[in-house]
Amino acid sequence: MLTEGQRVSLTRLVLDHQAALRAFLGRFERDALAVEEMAQDVFLSVVSRSEEMAEWDEEDAAKYLRVVAKNVLRMRWRKARAGARARGGPVSELLLEARLEDLDEEPDRSEGRLAALKACLGGLARTAREMVERHFFQSVSLVGLARELGQSDAAVRMTFLRIRRHLRSCIEARLTGNLRP
């Protein structure tokens, strides 16, 4: 059972940091439900320190939450690696090992990536931006979008492939400073 102080401080931490924490976890895990589950695990892991953390500088609290998130990711990946080893999948095991190394080596650039994504989304043509909003933020399936737009499923999938490629190159260009006019 949470004390009133823990409840208030944990609520404040969640409100202040959940979006950035999900963005961080989302860089390493594509499954939205898994990201949600891991974010909850992170916040549950810090309940005992939540009152103390509420007094910290916001950036220090964010850094600590990312460290906890990295540990949650590591535990998840180690379980997956053990499963891959049990199934005899050496390729899966090697990929998981590489992900663990990336997690340790890569500095957190979540804020910069999020800002770049927002800018790149803003730079999309109106129709493309609306398609992205409908699919990713309003959970409309690609099939549903195809029906709404009077296009084939394959055409909408191809459009999303192109949008993702454009966003990826736009984000990388913004992060590396190689902005094109």
Question: In whole angstroms, what is the distance from residue 140 CA to residue 47 CA?
Answer: 35
Residue 181: its pLDDT value, please?
43
Joined together, the tokens standing for residue 22 give 């999900």
Q: In three state form, how does the secondary structure of 96-130 look?
A: HHHHHHHHHHCCCCHHHHHHHHHHHHHCCCHHHHH
Question: In whole angstroms, what is the distance from residue 119 CA to residue 174 CA?
Answer: 9
Residue 89: its pLDDT value, please?
57
Asked whether the predicted pLDDT for residue 65 surpasses 80, the reply is yes
Question: In whole angstroms, what is the distance from residue 130 CA to residue 126 CA?
Answer: 6
Question: In whole angstroms, what is the distance from residue 181 CA to residue 130 CA?
Answer: 23
At 12, the amino acid letter reads R
Burial level of 50, CB count in 10 A (0-12/13-18/19+)? buried
DSSP string covering 16-80, please? HHHHHHHHHHHTT---HHHHHHHHHHHHHHTGGGHHHHHTS-HHHHHHHHHHHHHHHHHHHHHHH
Span of 11-20, 42-51, 87-96, 137-146 with lowest mean pLDDT: 87-96
**pTM: predicted TM-score of the whole model, two decimal places:** 0.55
Which backbone phi and psi does 103 adopt, to 5 degrees? -60, -40
Asked whether the predicted pLDDT for residue 2 surpasses 90, the reply is no
The per-residue pLDDT of the chain, averaged, comes to 84
